[in-house]
Homo-oligomer: A and B are copies of this chain.
Amino acid sequence: MSDFPKFVEFHEEGVREGFQMEPVTYPRAQRAALIDALSETGLRQIQVGSLVNPAKVPQMADTLELFADIKKNPDVRYTLLWLNESGYRRASTVQGAFNHAPLMYYLTDAFAMRNNNRTAMEMRAEQEAWLDRYRADGAFPQKVYAMTAWGCNLGGPVSQETVVDAFRHAIGMFRDRKLPLPPLYLADTMGWASPEEVKRRIGAVRELAPEAKIGLHLHDTRGLGGANVYAALSMGVSLLDGSIAGLGGCPFAGHKARQTSGNVCTEDMVFMCHEMGIDTGIDLEKMIEASRMAEEIIGRPLMGRVMHSGSLKAFREGRQADSACVSVP
């Protein structure tokens, strides 16, 4: 039996996940225009950027200025990402920056050390302090992330029990403080997930916290992104991170070079939801336009599919037959 949701809410991360992976920093006016275009698509959450070390991620150095530049649509939650106190302090200087306030669980030491210079357990212990700091500052966490929830390029396979154990810790913190549980997000940071494993781990987390909403943050590194989303939808998951045009991957740097891939492509997944009768509140045609705008800014073909092939709207309305699409069989 399937348990598809009626509505799926997307968190658009292309401007952060995508542009942080590009070798150059694009003009802020272009990024602001892209976010403004995204703001008119019906998206309810858009990530503007991250507040991380500008020496390590120079593409995100002007995130606060970008945040100030964009036109704020009152129906959209604009989110920022930080990984340490310094980033958080910078975020706290702008109004509306606390509407995301994520908690972050690392599941391997190797990745925790690389990304935050702490072990996974040290990072876990810090989440208590983060939660209390957020509360003191009037912020409330909207998401609890378990990163590399299926496996880690640096630390190897990650067991289901490791995922459950991290969320158990998070749930304990919220229950101790008599706070409602925010959505629990499984992040396939490095593209290790496959659809049956997606279903199993969602099932395990749901068993742990039947009252919690579950979200997914998936990367389409090995071609299973869409199948993983479909598997998650069949489990009733209604919260998805995505990137327009499938941004987030390395450029096509060389034919034999390894290239990591980006997040699941938001508009392709919106297309899937709509084809399945699941509402998203998003105007797909406007999303496609925004993706083409991203492609124009970046200046090379991006990985999104429906942005290039077009949706089925025109065909269904009997308007355009695309001769280029003919092939046999």
Contact = CB atoms under 8 A, between A and B. Distances in A.
B194 A275 contact: yes
A268 B226 contact: no
Given A252-B301, A276-B195, A308-B258, A115 B224 contact: no
A111 interface: yes
Contact of A327 (B21, B83, B104, B194): B21
Q: How large is the interface on A (under 10, 10 to 19, 20 to 34, 35 or more residues)?
A: 35 or more
Q: How many copies altogether?
A: 2
A224 B226 contact: yes
A171 interface: no
A301 B156 contact: no
Given A156-B315, A195-B272, A312-B192, A248 B327 contact: yes
Contacts of A326: 111, 114-115, 153-154, 190
A36 to B, nearest CB: 20
Interface string A290-329: 0010011001110111101111100110100110111111
16 contacts: A17-B327, A147-B328, A153-B315, A153-B325, A189-B327, A190-B326, A191-B309, A222-B312, A223-B272, A224-B268, A224-B271, A224-B272, A225-B226, A230-B231, A255-B301, A261-B308
